Chains A and B, each alone.
Chain A
Amino acid sequence: MTALLSVERLSAGYGELRVLEDVSLEVGAGEVVCLLGANGAGKTTTLMAITGVIGARGGDIVFAGGSLAGVAAHHRVERGIALAPEGRQVFQDCTVEENLLLGAFGRRGRGRRRARLDEVFDLFPRLAERRRQQAGLMSGGEQQMLAIGRALMTDPRLLMLDEPSLGLSPKVALSVYEAVARVAATGLSILLVEQNTQTALSIATRGYVLVHGRVVAAGASAELRDAPVLREAFLGGGSDRLGATPRRAPDEVTAPLLSIRGVEKHFGGVPAIQSFSLSLHRGEFCGLIGPNGAGKTTLMNLLTGYMRPSAGEIVFDGQAIVGLRPYQCCRLGIARTFQIVRPFPEMSVLDNVVTGWMFAGDAASRRRPEADVRAECVALLELVGLGGRLGSPSGSLTLGEKKRLELARALATRPRLLLLDEVLGGLSDAEIVQMCAVLRQVHARGITILMIEHVIRALVRLVDRLVVLNFGRNLRDGPPAEVLADPMVVEAYLGRPLAVDDARHPMTDQLHD
């Protein structure tokens, strides 16, 4: 049997960022294959390269016997490649039926669109009930079904699904997967990208594991399910180069620096953070981990005034900070970096950091002579290793340099609490080593740090404490080694296989047939 899709030594990336290196994978006709990996491993990039939304830097993609090199994305749809994208991306203002008909916009899907519409409604009865409903008003699970239905309307030979269970509760995720199983039963080839690995492996026949843009393991689902490589891909293995240094002991005697009590945040009716409590002592270096969509960045936004909690209180150094604006939080001594870096691109590197100094802290320190401020900021840039780029426009920096610039800019606000949102994400191994060394120095200066991170193998060598967030709740809190060994945490990251779901579901038999 020749493969329907064959990706051969594919390299791809965005701008300066290299994401995929030599990725090879195959999907046979009628086969369900899953592509697994942690956040930032390159899963979505692989799909984007197959759809042609981003170009390949090297290697080839062969579909149904023909190379896709130089074939535009919309022509690839005509050849039979369909994608239900990450985050669903349904057309919010259109009805369900309009969304589906838009899926059949191309020549390939147009002819049989009425018949296919009925087929999609057969597969997803829920969508038939809601055909006149505005798509944006539906639940996440229904929108996911709609995204899959819309992809099916193109009459594809290969259906690609990007994290169909993302942000869904376990029960809803299960119903989405049942639908995927029904689609698979029609004989369509499926390439499935997931973080919820156990569920994905229970539906796929084969799988590939991506780490840092490379395929590190491939095999039948049964082999992969218990493979150590899978656990390592998500929760990290050892890396001796990261080292560890003696730390300052956190001050547990005085009142905590940050105390979060019973905080809730709902978007519409959907809870993002639920009765979350956490206390941070002065001098602590705390890691915050959790799967995609667990509410980590929402928590950062609540702590810095970008969002207001629906309930609960947040006390920083004895002062309630709920209702304060971000600039007020900054002046109290809270600094943050952003998951998607936000340097001021037209300003020089040094001016970015000087801007960080000028408006933070008390009035006296804000009014220091500019020459003094510049000298302090140069020292901060030297600390993060950007001493040689003072005059460069920050827009011209590499991603790793931008992340270091953001750290220096946050430090320029003279914080007592530093919130880091994935500062290691997207960095090369060498850059991660360098960043970790900088973070240790920052911590040694007495700054309390709360760090969201997916690069867990580096994180565990930095922090004294690890908090796991799952579905907006504080799932586990303790020393890193204990937390990572907890089966609950492993499950939060890797998910559960469909088969062990408590209610024995009619689908389960079919899935393991």
Chain B
Amino acid sequence: MSAPRPSGSGIAVLGAVVTLGALAVIPFNPPLLSDWLFRIAMLVMLAVSWNMMASAGMISLGHSAFWGLGGYCCALAANVLGVGFGMSFLAAAVVGAATGLVLALVTGRLRGVFFAVATLALSEGLRIAGLMLPDLTGGAAGLFLAPGARPPANLLYEVAVVAAALSVAITWLLFRTRLRFAVRAMRENEDAAQMLGINPLLFRALISAIAGAMAATAGGFNLWYSGYIAPDIAFTLHFAILAQIAVIIGGINTLAGPVIGAFLIIALSEVTRILVGSREGYSLLIYGVLLVAAISFLPNGLYGLLTHRRMRPTESA
């Protein structure tokens, strides 16, 4: 994200090829491959969203809040209002954006670890609220999507791939504007940024709303995929943490990093599943080791390794 422009066109072409490739493959219905692509697409959205907030200095530990809210929005929109598959995402995105906006306004000047804990509290609070409002959320028993509401699997996969590509494209477009100067300045020194006319609250609210909409949309896909939602599933930290690992391994504050990371995480989860079966502990162990290795040896992630960029700033002129 810090350097979208120099390699922008190259990445755009590559992204378009990958997206079109995925779209072209899915209709032939290779179940395993489609499933992988869908999970990658979901993780890309979540990772892009997390990376966007991180790039403005907002380290979220509770991205599951958006993810879970998105799931519930889609479930309730479909079951209660009878809204279709497509429109339910609009509801999820609006609620996600509103939550992001409120989060930015309420946390105000909270930074770093304090902001992170606030996001964690938001996610946990929503989980508890979900358990305590059974009339709305079905409580611990959860909610099933109304039978017959679910779209054909291939359509769901195709839409997810398009949405993931869109989330990357939106980020790319946003960071072509002067926003990229504002967020980097805020991340590197907010006090100094203010003295340059940057209103941190405005940009934090904007970034948080957009990122919230993206993560909630990703959560909506998860609901349509599984057909079932419950507070402990919706607000699990599992996917939020996977998204963070994807960003850190792929390359934080870069455009391509979250995408590379998402591919790697899904590939890893498949490899560990085949090698060590369903013993959850091993895959977590491998993620952990990789994360430590990436933080220690790849400060700019795989993206940095691929482009031989070590802290090189935006090319000028």
Give the complex CA separation of A378 and B312 in angstroms: 19
Given contacts A344-B188, A346-B188, contact A351 B181 (CB under 8 A): yes
On chain B, the residues within 8 Å of A351 by CB distance are: 181, 184, 313-314, 316
- Asked if B29 is an interface residue, CB under 8 A from chain A, the answer is no
Give the complex CA separation of A326 and B198 in angstroms: 9
Given contacts A344-B185, A351-B181, contact A393 B195 (CB under 8 A): no
Residue of A nearest to B194 (CB): A326
**Residue of B2, B191, B198, B312 with most chain A CB atoms under a 10 A cut-off:** B198
The smallest C-beta distance from A312 to any residue of chain B, in angstroms, reads: 22
The smallest C-beta distance from B119 to any residue of chain A, in angstroms, reads: 24
- Asked if A325 is an interface residue, CB under 8 A from chain B, the answer is yes
A281-289, A352-360, A459-467: which lies at the interface: A352-360
Give the complex CA separation of A371 and B196 in angstroms: 19
Residue of A nearest to B196 (CB): A356
On chain B, the residues within 8 Å of A393 by CB distance are: 311-313
- Asked if B199 is an interface residue, CB under 8 A from chain A, the answer is yes
- Asked if B107 is an interface residue, CB under 8 A from chain A, the answer is no
Give residues 276-317 of B contacting A (CB, 8 Å). Answer: 311-317
The smallest C-beta distance from B188 to any residue of chain A, in angstroms, reads: 4
Give the complex CA separation of A306 and B195 in angstroms: 9
The smallest C-beta distance from B208 to any residue of chain A, in angstroms, reads: 18
- Asked if B238 is an interface residue, CB under 8 A from chain A, the answer is no
Give the complex CA separation of A336 and B2 in angstroms: 26
- Asked if A391 is an interface residue, CB under 8 A from chain B, the answer is yes
Q: Give the number of residues in B that approach A within 8 Å (Cβ atoms).
A: 25
Check if B313 sits within 8 Å of A358, measured CB to CB: no
Residue of B nearest to A305 (CB): B194
Residue of B nearest to A306 (CB): B191
Give residues 190-233 of B contacting A (CB, 8 Å). Answer: 191-200
Give the complex CA separation of A415 and B139 in angstroms: 58
Check if B316 sits within 8 Å of A348, measured CB to CB: yes
Give the complex CA separation of A327 and B192 in angstroms: 10
On chain B, the residues within 8 Å of A374 by CB distance are: 316-317
Per a CB cutoff under 8 Å, which of A344, A345, A413 touches B197?
A413
Check if B197 sits within 8 Å of A331, measured CB to CB: yes
On chain A, the residues within 8 Å of B197 by CB distance are: 327, 330-331, 359-361, 413
On chain A, the residues within 8 Å of B189 by CB distance are: 342-344
Given contacts A348-B316, A374-B316, A391-B315, contact A330 B181 (CB under 8 A): no
- Asked if A350 is an interface residue, CB under 8 A from chain B, the answer is yes
Give residues 37-94 of B contacting A (CB, 8 Å). Answer: none
- Asked if A224 is an interface residue, CB under 8 A from chain B, the answer is no
Check if A391 sits within 8 Å of B316, measured CB to CB: yes
Check if B311 sits within 8 Å of A346, measured CB to CB: yes
The smallest C-beta distance from A28 to any residue of chain B, in angstroms, reads: 46
Residue of A nearest to B188 (CB): A344
- Asked if A335 is an interface residue, CB under 8 A from chain B, the answer is yes
**Residue of B178, B188, B196, B314 with most chain A CB atoms under a 10 A cut-off:** B196
- Asked if B182 is an interface residue, CB under 8 A from chain A, the answer is yes
The smallest C-beta distance from B301 to any residue of chain A, in angstroms, reads: 15
- Asked if A390 is an interface residue, CB under 8 A from chain B, the answer is yes
Q: Give the number of residues in A that approach B within 8 Å (Cβ atoms).
A: 39
On chain B, the residues within 8 Å of A391 by CB distance are: 313, 315-316
Check if A344 sits within 8 Å of B192, measured CB to CB: yes
Give residues 303-341 of A contacting B (CB, 8 Å). Answer: 304-306, 325-327, 329-331, 335-336, 338
On chain A, the residues within 8 Å of B178 by CB distance are: 358-359, 366
On chain A, the residues within 8 Å of B181 by CB distance are: 351, 354-355, 358-359
Residue of B nearest to A361 (CB): B197
The smallest C-beta distance from B183 to any residue of chain A, in angstroms, reads: 10
Give the complex CA separation of A391 and B312 in angstroms: 9
Residue of B nearest to A337 (CB): B195
Residue of A nearest to B192 (CB): A342
Check if A348 sits within 8 Å of B188, measured CB to CB: no
Give residues 104-141 of B contacting A (CB, 8 Å). Answer: none
Given contacts A342-B189, A346-B311, A374-B317, contact A327 B198 (CB under 8 A): yes
Check if A345 sits within 8 Å of B188, measured CB to CB: yes
Per a CB cutoff under 8 Å, which of B191, B195, B312 touches A335?
B195
On chain A, the residues within 8 Å of B188 by CB distance are: 344-347
The smallest C-beta distance from B265 to any residue of chain A, in angstroms, reads: 26
Residue of B nearest to A357 (CB): B196
Per a CB cutoff under 8 Å, which of A306, A346, A359, A390 touches B196?
A359
On chain A, the residues within 8 Å of B195 by CB distance are: 304, 326-327, 329-330, 335-336, 338, 410, 413
Check if A327 sits within 8 Å of B314, measured CB to CB: no
On chain B, the residues within 8 Å of A355 by CB distance are: 181-182, 184-185, 193, 196, 198
Give the complex CA separation of A343 and B196 in angstroms: 12
Give the complex CA separation of A345 and B2 in angstroms: 13
On chain B, the residues within 8 Å of A335 by CB distance are: 195
The smallest C-beta distance from B184 to any residue of chain A, in angstroms, reads: 6
On chain A, the residues within 8 Å of B196 by CB distance are: 327, 330, 355-356, 358-360, 409, 412-413
Per a CB cutoff under 8 Å, which of A330, A348, A360, A410 touches B313?
A348
On chain A, the residues within 8 Å of B200 by CB distance are: 327
Residue of A nearest to B312 (CB): A393
Give the complex CA separation of A342 and B161 in angstroms: 42
Contact with A along B153-194 (1 / 0, CB 8 A): 000000000000000000000000010011011001101111
Check if B317 sits within 8 Å of A346, measured CB to CB: no
The smallest C-beta distance from B117 to any residue of chain A, in angstroms, reads: 20
On chain A, the residues within 8 Å of B194 by CB distance are: 305-306, 325-327, 330
Give the complex CA separation of A353 and B195 in angstroms: 12
Check if A327 sits within 8 Å of B199, measured CB to CB: yes
Residue of A nearest to B189 (CB): A342
Check if A347 sits within 8 Å of B198, measured CB to CB: no
On chain A, the residues within 8 Å of B315 by CB distance are: 391
Give residues 431-452 of A contacting B (CB, 8 Å). Answer: none
Per a CB cutoff under 8 Å, which of A305, A338, A361 touches B192?
A338
11 contacts between A and B (CB under 8 A): A306-B194, A326-B194, A330-B196, A343-B189, A344-B192, A350-B317, A354-B181, A356-B196, A359-B198, A391-B316, A410-B195
Q: Beyond A326-B194, A354-B181, A355-B198, list 14 extra A-B contacts (CB 8 Å).
A: A327-B195, A347-B185, A347-B314, A348-B314, A348-B316, A355-B196, A358-B178, A358-B182, A359-B198, A360-B196, A390-B316, A391-B316, A393-B312, A413-B195
